[in-house]
Amino acid sequence: MRRFALLIGILLSGTVFAASEQVPADLAAISAKAGLEGPVAKWCRSEFRPGHPGAFAVAVPSNTGGGRYLVVETSGRTFPLASYSGHPYLSCYSPAEVRKLNDTIAKSDTIQGQVQPLWPTTVVCGFVENTHAVCWQYSPAKNSFVKVGEWVT
């Protein structure tokens, strides 16, 4: 079932997660500026907040297993999203892609949940547990990222 969810993410995502073997130079510089401890395991690049291009959603693994998802901007500012267990899966979606993903979830017999973008900005989704994905989007009113949906496979 998780593979089905991964397939949905890969098919619908304009920016799919990337592996940590070779982080882009700008991500390495931003990570150092932000003081991230440890390597970046997965990432996707987008403009999560209007006027702040070149940001990344990242998965930073822990030495004890699992890790945490963050958004890191070019200034070094970070926004925590959530902790995850197991292996990270992370993807960035446009609002149109999220609506297609939501339609796919609604039609599925094996996946329960929904995802609804609230603003015209990028949505980032990550599996926080093996079969549980959560999605976040930046809220201008709260000046932070808020949950805009989730699904369970």
Least confident of 38-42, 55-59, 113-117: 38-42
- The contacts of residue 68 (CB under 8 Å, 6+ apart) are 59, 60, 62, 80, 81, 82, 83, 84
Average pLDDT of the chain, as a whole number: 89
The pair phi, psi for residue 92, each rounded to 5°, is -110, 135
For 82-109, how does the pLDDT look when each residue is reduced to its tens digit (9 = 90+)? 999 999 999 999 999 999 999 999 999 9
What pTM did the predictor assign? 0.86
pLDDT at res. 18: 46
Q: Name the pLDDT band for 21 (thresholds 50, 70, 90).
A: low
Measure the CA–CA gap between 106 and 102, rounded to whole angstroms.
6
- Which whole number is the average pLDDT over 18-42? 85
For 53-62, how does the pLDDT look when each residue is reduced to its tens digit (9 = 90+)? 999 999 999 9
The answer to whether 78 touches 37, Cβ cutoff 8 Å, is: no
pLDDT at res. 38: 81
Look up residue 48 and give its two tokens. 């999560």
Measure the CA–CA gap between 22 and 2, rounded to whole angstroms.
25
pLDDT at res. 90: 96
Least confident of 12-21, 98-107, 122-131, 136-145: 12-21
Which stretches of the chain are assigned E, i.e. beta strand? 18-19, 42-46, 55-61, 67-72, 78-84, 90-93, 112-115, 123-129, 132-139, 144-152
Query: Is the pLDDT higher at 5 or at 92?
Result: 92
pLDDT at res. 37: 82
